[in-house]
Amino acid sequence: MNLKDICNGVKPSCPNLRSRETFIDGLLEAAGGAPYISDSYKRGLCNGGKPFIVALKTPNRGKDNLQSLIDFFMTEIADAKVGNVLLEFGIPEKETPNKKALSVALANQMKALIEDDNEDVDEIVILEYQRAKEDDSPEKIDMGMQPLYPGDSAYVQFIPNQIFFLYSIK
């Protein structure tokens, strides 16, 4: 997935952001700050004609911008268009579309795109949407899998016959 895919999937459902330029401005501002980019480059980012280069990503890397990205998607995607965005990303939904879960999923996808040096990253929107829906459900059981101290994180990757565990303390 790349920035063009996010733009194509989300921008048509944001009636307050009438142009590709304002969409890119809002998205990058939510990510932590929009560097100066020409309008033609912004249009190119949206239509895939220009790359989302590391120089544009670097000012927003390592920032605590997940909540501002969630707020951007929550605010800008029209309530009546949430189902359209789900369809654009191939997210199956039998129940009422969950705008909050969608916003969380899109914010996580955008954050993954910003943090990676590559222009294309793995598509995580479907997985993150399902995870956010479960996290938002009243039946969710807290398993106590939270970091002990703010800033700590854990990463576990399972590969058959191997288990990797990385724990970082800040």
Quick one: pLDDT at residue 136? Answer: 72
Residue closest to 126 by CA, chosen among 100, 89, 152 = 89
Name residues whose C-beta falls within 8 Å of residue 17's C-beta, 6 or more positions apart in sequence: 11, 23, 26, 76
Which one has a higher pLDDT value, 160 or 56?
A: 56
Contact 93, 83 (CB under 8 A): yes
Average the pLDDT over 11-15 and give the result.
95
* Tens-digit pLDDT profile for residues 113-160: 999 999 999 999 999 999 999 987 655 444 445 556 666 665 555 555
Higher pLDDT, 34 or 67: 67
pLDDT at 4 over 90: yes
Extents of the domains making up the chain? 3-142
Helix (H, G, I), strand (E, B) or coil at 164: strand
Please tell me what DSSP assigns to residue 124. Answer: -
The rounded percent of the chain whose pLDDT value lies above 90 is 64
pLDDT confidence of residue 165: 57
- How far apart (Å, rounded) are the C-alpha atoms in residues 71 and 110? 13
DSSP-H helix ranges across 32-144: 39-47, 54-57, 66-76, 82-88, 99-115, 125-136
Say which residue the tokens 């969630």 belong to. 70
| pLDDT score recorded for residue 163 | 57
pLDDT at 16 exceeding the cut of 60: yes
pLDDT (0 to 100) of residue 141:
41
Distance CA 158, CA 89 (A): 26
State pTM to two decimals.
Answer: 0.78
11-20, 58-67, 84-93, 143-152, range with the lowest pLDDT: 143-152
CA atoms within 13 A on the CB side of 156: 4
Mean model confidence pLDDT for the chain: 85
Pairwise CA distance, residues 76 & 11, whole Å:
9
pLDDT, position 59: 87
d(CA 110, CA 2): 9
Torsion, Cα of 107, 109, 113, 118 (10° steps): 180
Q: What pLDDT does residue 167 have?
A: 60
Q: Is the pLDDT of residue 44 over 80?
A: yes
